[in-house]
Structure 1
Amino acid sequence: MHPPITGTAAGVPFTALPPADGGPAPLIVTWHMLDAPRSDAAFAAALPMDDLPAWRVHLGMPMCGARMVDGSMDAGLELLRKDPMMSVLYPFVRQAAEEFPAALASIRAQLPVGDGPIGVLGGSLGGAVALRVLAGTDIPVFAGAVVNAAIRMRSVVDLFPGDYPYDAESGKAADSMDFVAKAASIAGRAPLLVVSGELDHLALRADAFSLVDALGEWSELLSIPGLAHPLADEPGIEPAPQLPAAREVDAGLTAWFRRHLTDASR
């Protein structure tokens, strides 16, 4: 097994895991959670998908991992307390999606991944990024997957204390990240695996079922017994041993992407 490769792609930090032979292979790109694992390196350790004959490039989310302010999550947590929707959830997803085309071009210049369709994977808030790439770009994708994903942003906001004071701007932003409502745009793009922990937040789990229903034959649901929302233990910034529930998610993702890898050469 080759060691991880770390670097930046158009300013976005990444942790890349090569295929077994270290040579040319299809590309799968991921975006991590804000819960543990909350960095590209930690997400790579939680869901390495080591048996895939593909490059797995785990991208860092804004203000996380190498982009933390003063080496901690304190600044991000303060933004969450100030205004979870408009200070963190919406701008983080928007920035990660908007910076992705340039990051992808840089990854292709640095690694032997070719220019064919890619796989996309996101966990929690990173799932919203993967869904936004599917729903809002024309980047060719051979298969996607999300894990305990932020599928409807209003459901995520409801997890924070108090009643959020939506106005016209924040309401529009939240609705722009309702991916059940955007299911028609996703369904025509690529098959999607929706992974949901049986102990995840009830609203997020309900959204997972709703998305699968809306996508129909374009999606599959993988329900993981014993899995709550996080995929790793706190603090979730540095790579850590893979938890049993994450190992089950990892096996499901590996099988899913392996099934669709033949489409990456089209």
Structure 2
Amino acid sequence: MAVGTAITGTAAGVPFLVVPPRVERADAPVVVAWHLMDPPRTEAAFAAALPLAGLDAWRVYLGLPLHGARFPEGGVEELMRRGYEDAVLNLYGPVSAQAADEFGPAFAELRERFGLRGGPVGLLGGSLGAAVAQLVLASRAVEVAAAVLVSPVSRLESVVAAVGRLFGVEYPWSEPSLEVARRLDFVARAAEVAACPATLLVVGAEDDEEGFRQPAARLRDALVQRSVTTDLVVVPGMGHALAEEPGIEPAPQLPAAAEVDRLAVDWFTRHLGCER
């Protein structure tokens, strides 16, 4: 179904929103994007926050498991309940793993449906969506020319500690949850993330320093050491989320999100060979 210039539907069971380039062509670049678990927490809301305005490319926004059309009964409140119970084993681990696993079949179906052939591929992710993008990079499921990671989960242990400080709790790590943390430690897995030759990291000046800003800087350094073209941009006045609560439906773009959008468009234009 089409919404304005956007096309929505499901591919291999994954909800999507697709925006075509100015002229639909098989060899146009393709950017695949995954939203945050914080606002904007659906593919439609993420497309409104980061529309990649003016980018002459296919823009494919994929919905995360347990979000949007796949919210469990109880919606965001149920997700919060599961998070309080065990955020790592109930949310971060399974959501990121399933999203990475379902990317291949969903992207293959979208390529067939829209005739996407030959154009360079970029990945865009916010927070846990950025972790999904990095898992896809590590899997080498598709050759990626450029990535933009916004408010990224660079080291899950650091994120969990930051959330614990926010809510005044200490997470009880176990071997299963530590295994998830190792899988989502992209500083340690920088050699795998380095499969992408050009990566932009964007963090908010108001985001948690130890949970997000410092790990992003460490990831930047690790990628530079592996000859990846990498930049880290700190956006003034920006926290972690890119939209206001509840972040489910498309909403007016916030100033910080507009700046992130500008940075992402510039990065993809340069590294995907998009026409201006």
Fold shared by both chains (TM-score > 0.5):
yes
Choose from 134, 139, 160 the match for 2:137. Answer: 134
The residue number in structure 1 matching 2:248 is 237
Choose from 255, 259, 262 the match for 2:273. Answer: 262
The answer as to whether partners of 1:2 and 1:17 remain within 8 angstroms in 2 is: no
- Following superposition, which runs of at least 4 residues in structure 1 exceed 6 angstroms of deviation? none
Shift of the alpha carbon at 1:8?
0.6
Choose from 264, 268, 271 the match for 1:253. Answer: 264
- Give secondary structure in 1 for the equivalent of 2:122: strand
What CA distance in whole angstroms lies between the structure 2 residues aligned with 1:69 and 1:187? 35
How do residues 61-76 of structure 1 correspond to structure 2 at under 5 angstroms? 61-70=64-73, 72-76=75-79
1:167-210 CA-partner distances (Å, limit 9, x unpaired): 21211211111000111122243311001111111121111111
- Give secondary structure in 1 for the equivalent of 2:145: strand
- Taking a change above 3 Å as real, the CA distance of residues 71 and 83 of structure 1, as seen in their structure-2 partners, is closer
The residue number in structure 1 matching 2:20 is 18
- Give secondary structure in 2 for the equivalent of 1:99: helix
The answer as to whether partners of 1:2 and 1:20 remain within 8 angstroms in 2 is: no
Choose from 214, 217, 220 the match for 1:209. Answer: 217
The answer as to whether partners of 1:118 and 1:141 remain within 8 angstroms in 2 is: yes
Give the letter for the 2:9 counterpart: G
What CA distance in whole angstroms lies between the structure 1 residues aligned with 2:57 and 2:195? 24
Q: CA RMSD in A?
A: 1.6
What CA distance in whole angstroms lies between the structure 1 residues aligned with 2:268 and 2:4? 20
Shift of the alpha carbon at 1:2?
5.6
Shift of the alpha carbon at 1:143?
0.5
What CA distance in whole angstroms lies between the structure 1 residues aligned with 2:189 and 2:119? 25
Shift of the alpha carbon at 1:249?
0.3
Matched, 1:102 2:105: yes
1:184-240 CA-partner distances (Å, limit 9, x unpaired): 122243311001111111121111111101111411112211111010111100000
Shift of the alpha carbon at 1:243?
0.7
Shift of the alpha carbon at 1:3?
1.7
What CA distance in whole angstroms lies between the structure 2 residues aligned with 1:112 and 1:223? 37
The residue number in structure 2 matching 1:52 is 55
Matched, 1:184 2:191: yes
What CA distance in whole angstroms lies between the structure 2 residues aligned with 1:29 and 1:137? 14
The answer as to whether partners of 2:155 and 2:185 remain within 8 angstroms in 1 is: yes
Matched, 1:81 2:84: yes
Single out whichever of 87-96 and 132-141 deviates more from structure 2: 132-141
The answer as to whether partners of 1:36 and 1:235 remain within 8 angstroms in 2 is: yes
The residue number in structure 1 matching 2:44 is 41
Unaligned segments of structure 1, at least 5 residues = none
The answer as to whether partners of 2:35 and 2:129 remain within 8 angstroms in 1 is: yes
What CA distance in whole angstroms lies between the structure 1 residues aligned with 2:7 and 2:247? 19
The answer as to whether partners of 2:138 and 2:195 remain within 8 angstroms in 1 is: no
Shift of the alpha carbon at 1:163?
1.6
Shift of the alpha carbon at 1:69?
2.2
What CA distance in whole angstroms lies between the structure 2 residues aligned with 1:169 and 1:247? 39
The residue number in structure 2 matching 1:5 is 7
What CA distance in whole angstroms lies between the structure 1 residues aligned with 2:34 and 2:52? 14
Aligned residues: 263
